[in-house]
Amino acid sequence: MAERISTYTNDGHTFDVIDDGPLDGTPVVLLHGFPQTALEWSRVAPFLHDRGYRTIAPTQRGYSPGARPRGRYAYRMSALVGDATALIAAIGAGPVHLVGHDWGSAVAWSTATRHPNLVRTLTSVSAPHPMAFMRSMVTSSQAARSFYMALFQVPWIPEVVISRAFAATARPDVRRRALEMSQLDGEQFDRINRDVVQSGALKYALNWYRAMLITTPGGAAKTVSAPTTHVWSTRDSALVRKGADLTAEYATGPYRLEILDATHWIPEERPAELADIIAARVDGSDRVSGVPPVHE
C-alpha cells in the first residue's frame, strides 16, 4: 500500500509536499511556477481527485524552507531536474504523469528530455519547450515580453523593489492597482505575499532566473517522446503564441496544443478546464475542448 509523502530529501535539502487525493490513484506530479508554491494547484487538484487521481505537488527549491541553498549556481536546471527525479523516486510508482506551469513547466520539459524513462505523459502549461522559447525570442515579440528576466539579474534590487511593492498594498488604492497589473486575484496575491515575499523565499526564487546565464543547454534541444499536451492562454502577458506553435516541433510522440481564454495564471483562473486537459492526456483521450490534435 502506498504511503503519503509530506516531505522528501535531495542534495541535502528537504522539500515540502502536498500529497492528496485517492492514495491508490494514479500519481500526477504538479510542479509550480514563479512566484508561487505547491498551493498554486489547490484549485486544480480537487477536480483531478474527483477523477480518481492522486496529486503530488512539491514546493520546489528556494521556496521550501528546508531547501533554500545560497547562490545562483544551486538553481541551475540540472539541480532543479534532480529535485524532480528524486521526488519521482520517492513516490516509487515508476514513470509518472508530469505537469508543470511557468518555471515548473520548464523543469517538466527538461525532466522529460533528460529522463524519458521517468515521464509517462507531459502536460506543460504556459511555458513552451525550452528551444521553442529561445527561437520565439528572435522570431517574435517574446524578447520584449521577457525584459523582466534581464532586470532580475541585478543583485538584491529586485528583492527590495518587489518586497516594498507588496508592503505598499496595505493601502486599498495601491492594492487595487497591483491586482489589475498582475492579473492576480486577491487570494493569489495574499498567498504570494505570505508564502514567498514575507517568508523570505523571494531572493531564492529569483535565483531561478539568475541561474539562466550559467545553466548549460544540456537536453534543451532534445525532443520529448512521451505523449504531450501544451497549454497556452490568449491573455498571457509574459508568453506569446509563437513559442506555443513552435513546441510541436519538439514532440515526437502524440501531441496536442490547447488554447484557453485566460491570463498567465491558468491553474487558478481555469482550474476545471485545465483538469480536463490533464485528465485527457493522462487517459490518452484525443478530445478535450474541440480543438483538433496537432499530430496525434
Nearest by Cα to 19 from 60, 48, 57, 64: 57
77-91 and 103-114 helices cross at what angle (nearest 10)?
A: 70
**CA pair distance 96, 224, nearest whole angstrom:** 14
Joined together, the cell numbers standing for residue 128 give 513552451
Chain centroid offset of residue 153 CA:
20
Query: Where does the chain show beta strands of DSSP type E?
Result: 7-10, 13-20, 26-31, 53-58, 96-101, 119-125, 228-233, 255-260
Chain centroid offset of residue 54 CA:
18
Handedness of CA 277, 281, 287, 290 (dihedral sign): positive
Query: Quick one: average pLDDT of 177-192?
Result: 96
Query: Quick one: average pLDDT of 238-251?
Result: 98
Give the sheet arrangement for strand 13-20, strand by strand.
Answer: 7-10, 13-20, 53-58, 26-31, 96-101, 119-125, 228-233, 255-260
SS3 letters for 16-33? EEEEECCCCCEEEEEECC
Q: Which domains does the chain have, with CATH numbers?
A: 7-146+218-283 (3.40.50.1820)
Per-residue confidence (pLDDT) for residue 296, from 0 to 100: 39
Per-residue confidence (pLDDT) for residue 292, from 0 to 100: 45
| pLDDT band, residue 173 (cuts 50/70/90) | very high
pTM of the model: 0.95
Reported as a single tens digit per residue, the pLDDT across 46-84 is 999 999 999 999 999 999 999 999 999 999 999 999 999
Q: Residue 279 burial by CB count (10 A; 0-12/13-18/19+): exposed, middle or buried? A: buried
Q: Assign 3-state DSSP to the chain and report helix, strand, coil percentages, each to 5.
A: 45, 15, 35
